Amino acid sequence: MKRFLAGMLALIMVLSICGCGSHKTPEEVFALTGENMRKVDSGIYYITEEMGVREDGVEVGGRVHTELEVCPNPRTIHGKFDLSIAVINLKTEFYWLPEEDSLYLGIDMGSGPQWHRMKSPAEQLPELPEQWENPNATILDYCENLTEVGKEKVEGVNTTRYDVRLTAEGLWKLVQEILDVIDKENGGTPKELVGLREHLQELFAEVDEDAGVTLIICIDTKKMELVQVRADIAEFANEICRAFRACQGEDQPDDTDVGITKLSLVAGFRELGRVDHIEIAQDILNAPEM
């Protein structure tokens, strides 16, 4: 019996050592997750924003929910957009078939969606970058203080939670890289964006260097897939607003109750790699052209 117990103890110790040795650092997890997410060609992406603004003792709140379902073959995007602000409720749904250059748009103001077909307006927009200059870029390139917090269940998925700080400096770096790539893809700055870089540089110069927002990132570390990102942005947004007023030469409001009272964001992914068909009802396909 003693030999058996000694053998079991030795086995447990070996397994424990192996387990500790295979534990990945947060940086390794983010690198592997980034590689996997770049390979995903289908799934459902959603983002929910909740906001509140108070001025002169009156607070107005709202909620915006966007959901995109993507199928690669044939290329189809199904989107839903729900907006609720005060007494305004707007629901929009669309199907986009890039290969047919067709957009089917349904707008619901309360009595059901009214569908119309139109040509995609993509040719009217500045050409967006197909990929970053640095294809291996991750959010860590713009953040600091990455910390593994622990386990968390998100929409039925067991995930590991990581907290990371996105600072004003990191955000400005990200914005500049986006503008650089857009300029390169378009052979120069699109006329719609002329002067934007200079205005943003002036704005970020006014932002408190300690300002920022903590991102909560939940990753399925078994599949190395991003599941959800959450953030409370109200404090950072108020600092941006203060900096904007300073750039405009405006006085700061005396009432500290004036400003953004709530601004939260939740974004995530579902059904990654598992959307192989998006059904479009025939009456939608027969919708009149707008």
- The residue extents of the domains of the chain are 25-285
pLDDT in tens, 200-236: 999 999 999 889 999 999 999 999 999 999 999 999 9
- In a 10 Å sphere around its CB, with 0-12 CB exposed, 13-18 middle and 19+ buried, how is residue 49 labelled? middle
Residues 6+ apart with CB under 8 A from 133: 177, 180, 181, 184
Given the candidates 2.50.20.20, 3.40.50.1470, 2.40.70.10, 1.20.58.220, the CATH classification of the domain at 25-285 is 2.50.20.20
The tokens describing 121, both together, are 């307006």
pTM of model > 0.75? yes
pLDDT in tens, 159-174: 999 999 999 999 999 8
| Reported confidence tier of residue 137, pLDDT bands at 50, 70, 90 | low
* Closest C-alpha among 147, 137, 139, 148 to residue 167: 139
Can you tell me the distance from the alpha carbon of 33 to that of 39, in angstroms, rounded to the nearest whole number? 10
pLDDT in tens, 23-37: 788 888 888 888 888
Judged against a pLDDT cut of 50, whether residue 17 lies above it is answered with no
CA 280 to mean position of chain CA atoms: 26
Please state, for a pLDDT cut of 70, what percent of the chain lies above it: 83
pLDDT in tens, 30-78: 888 888 888 888 899 999 999 998 877 788 889 999 999 999 888 899 9
Can you tell me the distance from the alpha carbon of 208 to that of 168, in angstroms, rounded to the nearest whole number? 8
The tokens describing 120, both together, are 């995609």
